[in-house]
Chain A
Amino acid sequence: MTKSNLPENRLENRFPEKEPLLTKREATVEANRCLYCVDAPCIDSCPTSIDIPEFIRRIATENREGSAKTILESNILGYSCAQVCPTEVLCESTCVFNEMDEEPIRIGELQRYATEPAIENDVQFFEAGEPTGKRVALIGAGPASLSCAHRLRRYGHETTIFEAKSYPGGLNTDGVAPYKLHAHQSLKEIDYVRQIGGIDIEYNTAVGKDVTLEELEEDFDAIFIGAGLGPDNWLDIPGTDLDGVWGAVDLIAKMKVEEGYELPDDVHTACVVGGGNTAIDVVRELRGLGVDDVMLVYRRDEASMSGYEHEWEGAKKEGARGVWFSQPVEIVGDDHARALRCRKMRPASDDPDDRSLELVDGSDFDIDCDLVVVAIGQSKLGDLFADVDGVELDWGKIVIDAETGRTGNTKYFAGGDCVSGGKEVVDAVEEGKVAARSIHALLTDDAEASADEESTETAPSPVT
């Protein structure tokens, strides 16, 4: 892997890929199975609207490079999206084969097959536009900002990304499950994206701390906020300060990027608190690392989990179990967590539409465990922008006009998790792309630029 400054001995490297790169034969068979539908529903269910039938046809005609171009034209992070997208609920969910009760086309795997050689061999399809002399600051080097910056470079604007951490990629580098994508793959892709030239990244530079918004406003013509979400939300119960209690995103990042990090040897039983995708990810990761008994502890029932069904089914196959209607009330231990004390919950009424729960007095029980992981969401970073004129917040999320990515302040645009409160990489990519169009319109006084772009997708100057 080139230019990746990640250490070699990272815990995530112990995870094999769940879906290895298709062989040529597999890709050919699958690509030829695709019907090349007209007005294909899969395109509509890809947030970045990749022309899926076209890229698959290009695989079938042995135009693999042209296939990569079709993908990257709509989604410059198409290589990692191919691996991290929940295709089961996105493109593949609307494949017409589902209508015949047949397996949908393996779109994600074909997308990786198409893009991987382009990334590996640095085949560039896009050129930077004629310099406009305009400068855009982007906050956070996650998928939203990277997508926005690449598009802005195609328009010819200068871009500087300010990133609090020492590496780029946001959660795509240090959050997504390692059996889907390894951190070095994310970094490799970012190297590739930056080959367009002129995407500067200032690492270890937290906006609001190392550089102020006033300074950015002064130095730049527009600002894109792609800061994602903040640290893990925390349980407000006794015992969370014990050793062996972790925030999910914190723990995952350690596994993915920290040199030599290991789970303590004596972890045999773990409780993961939460019911979302991050909780399920942690469960599967811990099982993958050999933790004997991994339980997902959730205050509602299985059917009410917000995490994807296919992910939870996978976790169960891997040996995880769920503990339902259970609310942690204390983490028990001396120095180190020894058990998670829970209280039973039950629906507050018989009305199935009423989702409220009540605690059952006297129902406390302890789950013995060596590790407690708190996966109840990430905090919102909106406060940082509370004082910016016109920028509106909704429970810490930044409010934008979805069509344009504009905030209430003409200079500020935003996209990604800091707006949505937490969606997928592919959504962040799309929102970055949309914002780039309106930033371009702002900077070129071209009110129609964004409208024109909409339909044709012809950002200037593809090279090959």
Chain B
Amino acid sequence: MSALLQADEASALLAAAIRGELPDERGRFGPFGGRYVPETLVPAFERLEEGVREHLHDASFQAEFRKELHEWVGRPTALTFAPRLSEIWGADVWLKREDLAHTGAHKINNAIGQAILAKRLGARRIIAETGAGQHGVASAAACARVGLPCSVYMGAVDMERQAPNVDRMLRLGAEVVAVESGDKTLRAAIDEALRTWVTDPEGIYYLLGSAVGAHPYPYLVRELQSVIGEEARQQMIDLAGGLPDVAFACVGGGSNAIGLFYPMLGDDIELIGVEAGGTGNGLGQNAATLATGTPGVLQGSYTIILQDDDGQVQETHSISAGLDYSGVGPEHALLQATGRVKYISATDDEALEALEELCASEGILTALETSHAFAAAKKYAKEHPGKRILIGNSGRGDKDMPTLTKYPARTRSHAGA
């Protein structure tokens, strides 16, 4: 995809990204990003952009956000050395434990940050979309915390495969709206949330869950998630004896990946994003957007998307609801085009296998989304022995039990040995 940019343009853009100058004032990461939204929402986006400018880096917002991250989310999350995995893989493997954050995934960093912002902007209620249900649960919890009503839009297919999270959202006081249109997964849920926002652009705050969509969301979500990479970077220096050689994160919309990678862009660290390879390379069999997609506009942003020759967005497949998305955040599109971050994919089967291996060797049940990062890291370790590897362990896998129970636990046979 690097053919999208001339070499000198690519290096200038990467330098700008490292200096923190992107997105530009038009919400662009080089050619990617922007704001493609219905006219009814334009004033709402302008208010949001203005609100972000006024509050996000304001001392009082930051003080409240940091306090909530510490006292309510439980940050900083641990950096965990994985001794048995390291031995098996022939590498030095470290895990940034977002699974230990409140509600079980990195999504809470963004949710509580935006909920605080929504409160300051005078929102009457909050809407959110969710795929795996992790962002829905995080939003429900954050809304309860700041005292705002919350409605979560969730595709009917996802409600079934992530049933435990639906129940959690309801108990946290949110309304869960089943989305029956389109592909009934994350993309349809975002479309439906946007339609709802259009009905009350002044009263509703849309708490978007990944680094996707129209400006300023990709920027806002990155700023709120960068705490992952800031902590991990320092922890590697303090605990692992230095920065990693390589860092892995799974990529759905790209929020945990940008959170981990962004503070490391200027370091000599290889960065690898891992998308969902699904069941194969055919259109519709995977959600490997950056690996196989082309530029287009989806849900507010010019980015890389999975589409056919007529510009119709394609359905995706992944065993993990959180990666099952036909688009990706525009900043990832730029980081790929500049060559700074490499994006690869892992299949459903590889992810399942990696999940089992991690469970058995380190006692950590990771999310199916996250398992893709482990699968790719394992392959890398085999090809590059002796490296210091950092993996963004974006969430825990309890929510995946309805899916996992369909696959017999292979490791159980070791029990009697």
Q: Do A and B bind each other?
A: no
- Give B residues with C-beta under 8 Å from A: none
